[in-house]
Each structure stands twice: as structure tokens, then as C-alpha cells.
Amino acid sequence: RDLHLSIRRQRQMCIRDSLNILGDKIYHIGEFGSGMSVKVLNNFVASCSVVAVRHVLSEAKNLNITTNQLLKILNSSSGQTWFSENLENIDWAKENYETDNTIAILEKDVRSFLDGLADSNSSSNKAMVNFQNALLNGLKNIPKFPHN
């Protein structure tokens, strides 16, 4: 029995060590599939912020605001997002949509979220469905990153 417990602990430590390679915050969410659900929910929110930040950055010049001015204000006020705060450190932040890049992966995750909703008891109203479709369209047509 002691040997069995020792082997079990070693396996758990090995799994935990392997997961820690992927990230420093590991959460136990629930039953099988829950982790993927959380991933696509999180990436839906991230996708919203990516499209929103890129959109306002591309429009700022039309309102006589520079990219740097806007980012400074966004990142010190209620418009701050993970994406805006880390823009210069994210290697894909300035990418345009391509079928094989990170923006396309965000699109895939949004589609996975919508597929999950279709298989659930969700009762998204028409406005939310329109928003979800607009997000997909926004990712595929993400504004070019402005160069001041």
C-alpha cells in the first residue's frame, strides 16, 4: 500500500511539474472538458479586447490623437486591457489576419465558443448573436496597426 501511494504521489508531482512548464498558474476547473471551455471563454474576452484596441488605435489619428497618447491614457484608466498593456511585448500584436497566425487562432477559439453554445442550453438573444458575429468579422478584418 505504501508503495502504491508513493507511486501515485510521484505521478502527481510529474504531472504538476509538466503543467508548470506551460504556465505558472494551474487551476483545477472541474470535469473533463471544463478546461477547454474556460480557454475559449477567456479567449472570447481576449478577442474582444484585441479587436477593440486595434480599432481605436487605427481611428485615433482621425481624432488628432497619436497611438502613443492613446495607449498612455488607455493603460492608466478604465480602457486598460491585457492586450493594450502588453502590446509591445506580444509578438503577434501587430499582425493582420492570416489563416495561419495568432489572430486566426483567436477566430478559431471564438468559433469553438459559439459551437459550445450551440450544443448547450444557451439562449443568447439576437443582439448577442449579432455581437458574436461582429467579433468574428472584426478579427478577419482587424485594422492595420497604425505607424505614427
pLDDT one-digit tens code per residue, 57-71? 999 999 999 999 999
- Identify whether the C-beta of residue 89 lies closer than 8 Å to the C-beta of residue 82: no
Q: Supply the pLDDT for residue 4.
A: 60
What stretches in the chain show pLDDT beneath 70? 1-5, 7-8, 148
Q: Supply the pLDDT for residue 134.
A: 96
Q: Supply the pLDDT for residue 29.
A: 83
Instruction: Give residues with Cβ within 8 angstroms of 20, minimum separation 6.
Output: 26
Q: Supply the pLDDT for residue 107.
A: 95
Q: Supply the pLDDT for residue 125.
A: 83
Q: Supply the pLDDT for residue 117.
A: 86
Print the SS3 string covering 33-91: CHHHHHHHHHHHHHHHHHHHHHHHHHHHHHHCCCHHHHHHHHCCCCCCCHHHHCHHHCC
Q: Supply the pLDDT for residue 2.
A: 62
